[in-house]
Structure 1
Amino acid sequence: MSTLDTSPGRHRSRRLITVAVMAGAWLLAYAGNRPFWDLLVYQVAGLDPDSRLGSGLHFFVTDTAKIILLLAGIIFVVTVARSFLSLERTRALLGGRREGVANLVAAGLGIATPFCSCSAVPAFIGFVAAGVPLGVTLSFLIASPLINEVAVVLLYGMFGMRIAALYIGSGLVIATLAGYVLGRISPPRWVEPFVYATTLRGVPVATGQRLTLDDRITLGREEVGKILRKTWPYLVVGIGLGAVIHGWVPADFFARWAGAGNPLAPLVAVLLGVPLYSNAAGVLPLVEVLHAKGVAMGTVLAFMMSVVALSLPEMILLRRVLKPPLLAAFTGVVATAIVITGYLFNTIL
């Protein structure tokens, strides 16, 4: 049943002011997240920021709060935005023969969006729910943590323009091609049904249904609650694992097993990188140490890519969204592309 927008102008203004206040509170909470936990963990609790306990606990609480805020904010905005759009029109725009171009655009958007692997998942859920083709959305999911401007600047400072440019180019190619391949082999049934379902006050929203401003805000709020209830245990477990291994720097072990003398070095680098959890900027100091120890550039870049694009915490969180066949395909396609890139870089550098 359609709901006509007949609310008085004064009521509409109050609702807009409420939304503006909510947005301001969200921005304040997001901006103050790290300073708040810095104060609580390091000053009030007195934990050493250089200790495994202090850094691990700080990592856990900071990233949990950050990703929950991102999840809530992105899902709310995307849900309200898609309530104004035709689902079929969105799919037609980004699907079919234009899908390859859409994969490239999504990968470019991911590069411009400096999320870590776990915080990119909320955007992934929102895009899929909005009707963006699955493969296109996966291109965004791969590119967003894989490449960001901070990492590129640091990589340029450490190794020069050639390496930084090769890293950007290879990341863009991996995200575009992997998303395209996954879109071709992955049916929608491999995504958990709750991602596609949109309800308003417990009733499915019909295509073309006219909604009031109150309806749209309620829709966004309910969607946030639904997805948070579905994903929060996986989110906490994933970030908890990341906190446990946070700060683990296996430089000597890595150099021994993935050194220049091992023909399987890029493959070993990817296998070692997947359990870790960091963003590209955070793993770069280790990359510099490994390269100084004689590990080939292609191998260390493959390690860096696997850490930021295929972290174990991300896999745990994604499992709540993707069914096992798609999760396995995602991991296999991206890992294979990273290993091939490692060998290619070792050959040309």
Structure 2
Amino acid sequence: MFIFEFLNDQLLKMMWLSDLVKLLVENVFGLNVSERLGGSLHFFIYDVVKIFILLSVLIFIISYVQSFFPPERTKKILGRYSGITANILGALLGTITPFCSCSSIPLFIGFTNAGLPIGVTFSFLISSPLVDLASVLLLASIFNWKIAIAYVVVGLILAVVGGTIISKAKLEAYVEPFVYSNQMTSIEEESMTRRDRMNFGKNQVKDIVKKVWLYILIGVGIGAAIHNWIPESIITAVIGQDKWYSVIVATLVGVPMYADIFGTLPIAEALVSKGVGLGTVLSFMMGVTALSLPSMIMLKKVVKTRLLAVFFCIVTIGIIIIGYSFNALGYLFT
């Protein structure tokens, strides 16, 4: 147990990095980390460096694994299953794709074109931006393993339930016709050497970091401001745990934003430290990652309004239920 806690603190939470940043802030910048300005600078530098290190390592590993599962091979594997089993596998597949919701849509098109049932592709589309292996470790690095695992479980349940409902509703006719006729590029995994997979992983790290770096900086900056400058009384007055509407507000506030889980985690960390309920914070994170306005606009290009509305309602209701559940049972995770 001691060894696990040590490794968790030093490798995942990077307490050594926190200590180094503290020395930097106090000895180089001459600021006290217990005061607002010094605390904000410490929060910003520590979280930015930690997130980028973890993100780069995790994306490389995940992308290396993902290189074994091109769309055509995935279709062959998932094609062996049907019903809820296929939805579960589709949702699990989303956990090894380190993409935001907008980046997941091209794969959604590829899987649909490859002949996968629409419910399975939507389970993937819900799960991919919401839950991935990187988010598990990042959540654990900021909160704890109980919260990280619980977040993944409820995210997968939402993806499976959402995909199943869409499948039962028989909404195939509401996918734009070009999606079915779009030619999907087939990549045979046997054609990739170890060097190819290494290069694929490196390129994925470069591409994803290039896409998310600004959102991470913005997210950490907002988190630092919330953590050190906004009084707890103001935050709790708006979305405190005692407010019945806090989960609904947090979910809907996340919709106009565009970020991924890596950019929302620092904000979540700061909100929890200010007394906001765990469920409210998770609802905000899920709203941003799964229901962002830009991703809805992109999705509208490949599905018709009725299917988009069904998808939005299912995910929104699911997120709100999850939020209230975590607020009610939050004591189990602290």
Q: What TM-score range do you get, normalising by the shorter chain?
A: 0.5 to 0.7
Residue correspondences, number: 228
State the partner residue of 2:96.
Answer: 112
Alignment match of 1:155 (pick from 139, 145, 161): 139
Query: Matched residues, percent identical?
Result: 42
Pair 188,154 (structure 1): closer, same or farther in 2 beyond 3 Å: same
Q: Unpaired segments of 5 or more residues in structure 1?
A: 1-73, 201-214, 218-238
Alignment match of 1:178 (pick from 162, 173, 181): 162
Q: CA deviation at 1:327?
A: 0.4
| 1:12-31 equivalent positions in 2, closer than 5 A | none
Q: CA deviation at 1:306?
A: 1.1
Output the amino acid matched with 2:159.
Answer: A
Alignment match of 1:295 (pick from 269, 276, 284): 276
Alignment match of 1:167 (pick from 151, 154, 159): 151
Pair 274,254 (structure 1): closer, same or farther in 2 beyond 3 Å: farther
Contact 2:78 / 2:90 at 8 angstroms: preserved in 1?
no
Distance 1:216 1:108 in 2: 21
Output the amino acid matched with 2:268.
Answer: V
Contact 1:148 / 1:280 at 8 angstroms: preserved in 2?
no
| SS in structure 1 of the partner of residue 181 of structure 2 | coil
Output the amino acid matched with 2:260.
Answer: N
TM-score by length of 2: 0.62
Alignment match of 2:306 (pick from 318, 325, 330): 325
State the partner residue of 1:309.
Answer: 290
Pair 182,199 (structure 1): closer, same or farther in 2 beyond 3 Å: closer
Distance 1:338 1:279 in 2: 16
Distance 2:252 2:182 in 1: 38
Distance 1:279 1:199 in 2: 29
Distance 1:149 1:175 in 2: 15
Higher Cα radius of gyration: 1
Q: CA deviation at 1:90?
A: 8.8
Alignment match of 1:345 (pick from 310, 322, 326): 326
Output the amino acid matched with 2:257.
Answer: L
Q: CA deviation at 1:92?
A: 6.6
Q: CA deviation at 1:257?
A: 2.5
Alignment match of 2:243 (pick from 256, 262, 280): 262
Distance 1:249 1:344 in 2: 26
State the partner residue of 2:5.
Answer: none
Pair 313,255 (structure 1): closer, same or farther in 2 beyond 3 Å: farther
Alignment match of 1:271 (pick from 243, 248, 252): 252
State the partner residue of 1:129.
Answer: 113
| SS in structure 2 of the partner of residue 113 of structure 1 | coil
Q: CA deviation at 1:149?
A: 2.1
Output the amino acid matched with 1:195.
Answer: V
Q: CA deviation at 1:339?
A: 0.4
Q: CA deviation at 1:151?
A: 1.9
Pair 124,161 (structure 1): closer, same or farther in 2 beyond 3 Å: same
Q: CA deviation at 1:121?
A: 0.5
Deviations 1:206-249 (A, max 9, x none): xxxxxxxxx989xxxxxxxxxxxxxxxxxxxxx9xx98xx6584
| SS in structure 1 of the partner of residue 283 of structure 2 | helix
| SS in structure 1 of the partner of residue 294 of structure 2 | helix
Pair 192,143 (structure 1): closer, same or farther in 2 beyond 3 Å: same
Distance 1:332 1:296 in 2: 23
Alignment match of 1:284 (pick from 255, 259, 265): 265
Distance 2:183 2:144 in 1: 51
Q: CA deviation at 1:284?
A: 0.3
Pair 279,198 (structure 1): closer, same or farther in 2 beyond 3 Å: closer
State the partner residue of 1:208.
Answer: none
Pair 167,92 (structure 1): closer, same or farther in 2 beyond 3 Å: closer
Q: CA deviation at 1:199?
A: 7.0
Q: CA deviation at 1:345?
A: 0.6
| 1:241-252 equivalent positions in 2, closer than 5 A | 249=222, 251=226
Distance 1:199 1:130 in 2: 9
Contact 1:143 / 1:172 at 8 angstroms: preserved in 2?
yes
Q: Unpaired segments of 5 or more residues in structure 2?
A: 1-66, 188-210
Q: CA deviation at 1:161?
A: 1.4
